[in-house]
Structure 1
Amino acid sequence: MRSLMCFGDSNTHGTMPMAELSDIGRYGRDLRWPGLLARALPGWQVIEEGHPGRTTLHDDPVEGPHRNGLRLLPALLESHRPLDLVILKLGTNDLKGRFSVNATDIALSLEKLIAVIRASGCGPEGAAPAVLLVAPPPILEVGCLAEIFEGGAIKSQALGAALARVAVRAGVPLVDAADHIAVSDLDGIHYDAGAHAALAEVLAQAVRQQFA
């Protein structure tokens, strides 16, 4: 059986749209996209590594350095090896005002994570795992998260195109989630259950096509 790791943030974790900052609801495995992906890909072991607040490579001065994806990625690759595939879906939390980065900065950060995956030797027989890059959909500045992501909505509109350029340079397939789903109107960041289902279907198709 082949294995893939879903490396992402709260939308990989399955965090529900939030009415208040204190909300910590999480969809069950049968509703969040990695769990649905596992059901759609019976020949694959799907490993869920979604962490709310995870950034590409920034230590979060408010939520803690453990949110830094670059810090955690090497250990997770080694822990779960051999990995045939890593689905890399990050970038939304980098849009928080506290990080002061633009879409190109975020894309370059994801390009660095791709390089780490390829240099890891954590694929079968010490090879590099394959990478499937996912561009998150644009965000909205609404609800309880609006101030935290102030200025991020306009930046997020350019993220898909910036990641498309990274995908070409790195030679990896890209799924632009904006072509298939949108964020919830409740908090402008997280996905409803229907979006999780749609994303799982699209990613399952991409895995079958690219990694048959």
Structure 2
Amino acid sequence: MTKTVLTFGDSNTYGMPPAHAPGEFQRFGADTRWPTVMLSDLGPEWVLIEDGLPGRTTCRADPVMGPHMDGQIGLRIALESQGPIDLLVIMLGTNDLKTHHGASVDQVVAGLAGLLGIARSEPYQLRHKGFDILLVAPALVLEQGTFRDGLLGANTKARDLPFAIAQLADHWGLPFLDAGMHIKPSPVDGLHLDAQDHITLGHAMAAKIAGL
């Protein structure tokens, strides 16, 4: 019997390479993106649903990219349009650190808590006949490169985020993975992962899931 995993995140789940200029929009192939690398490691007993939206936040509309960047909207859509799923992997928080959102570490964690509340709510758990959640802290953010102007103060907050997310996961009794222990963003744009880091993260995710 197969199991289905839904990977819910932003551009680093979508598979966007480091951007050399604003507006550059590309995507790594299936042999490179971490969700598909993860799936390959997990084997044929798993099915993958990729849901990575560049710009997505935990709970914030974006004044530039639009209101649909609110992850709470996106998660409800994903859980109502896909499934049944057995595992939800959430890796969000990077875009919340953009200067124009003005979000503190506590506010980012609160946004993630809101997503957990949605996912753990009785209607969605019943709809999918129950599913587990893996909470992932995203990699560090660098205040350099292509998107430097929009990342004032993001590096300091990003350094504090994994510990805060780990506390949230522990409070909810959820498994946790710190992506920053395995990968780092490219200095090209300060946000996105290069090909090798995608592959490395995919292996780490698969190992974590296999051990659940």
TM-score greater than 0.5 by the shorter chain: yes
Alignment-derived partner of residue 129 in structure 1 = 131
Is 1:156 the counterpart of 2:158 in the alignment?
yes
- The Cα of 1:124 is off from its aligned counterpart by 7.3
1:44-55 residue pairs with structure 2 within 5 A? 44-55=46-57
Alignment-derived partner of residue 18 in structure 2 = 17
CA RMSD of aligned residues (A): 1.3
Select between 127-136 and 52-61 the one with higher mean Cα deviation. 127-136
Query: How many angstroms apart in 2 are the aligned matches of 1:49 and 1:130?
Result: 17
> Closer, same or farther in 2 for the Cα pair 1:125/1:23, shift >3 Å?
closer
User: Any unmatched runs of 5+ in structure 2?
Assistant: none
The one of 137, 144, 147 equivalent to 2:146 is 144
Contact 2:119–2:125 at 8 Å: present in 1 too?
no
Which of structure 1's runs of 4+ aligned residues deviate more than 3 A?
Answer: 120-128
> Closer, same or farther in 2 for the Cα pair 1:124/1:83, shift >3 Å?
farther
Is 1:68 the counterpart of 2:51 in the alignment?
no
Alignment-derived partner of residue 192 in structure 1 = 194
Contact 1:5–1:48 at 8 Å: present in 2 too?
yes
Query: How many angstroms apart in 1 are the aligned matches of 2:125 and 2:82?
Result: 10
> Closer, same or farther in 2 for the Cα pair 1:19/1:126, shift >3 Å?
closer
> Closer, same or farther in 2 for the Cα pair 1:71/1:124, shift >3 Å?
closer
Query: How many angstroms apart in 1 are the aligned matches of 2:122 and 2:64?
Result: 30
The one of 180, 183, 197 equivalent to 1:181 is 183
Contact 2:85–2:128 at 8 Å: present in 1 too?
no
Contact 1:121–1:129 at 8 Å: present in 2 too?
no
Query: How many angstroms apart in 1 are the aligned matches of 2:178 and 2:135?
Result: 8
Query: How many angstroms apart in 1 are the aligned matches of 2:122 and 2:78?
Result: 11
**Secondary structure of the corresponding residue to residue 158 of structure 1:** helix
- The Cα of 1:23 is off from its aligned counterpart by 1.0
Which letter does structure 1 place at the counterpart of 2:73? R
- The Cα of 1:81 is off from its aligned counterpart by 2.0
Contact 1:120–1:128 at 8 Å: present in 2 too?
no
Q: How many residues align?
A: 210
TM-score, with structure 2 as normaliser: 0.95
Contact 2:57–2:69 at 8 Å: present in 1 too?
yes
Contact 1:141–1:150 at 8 Å: present in 2 too?
yes
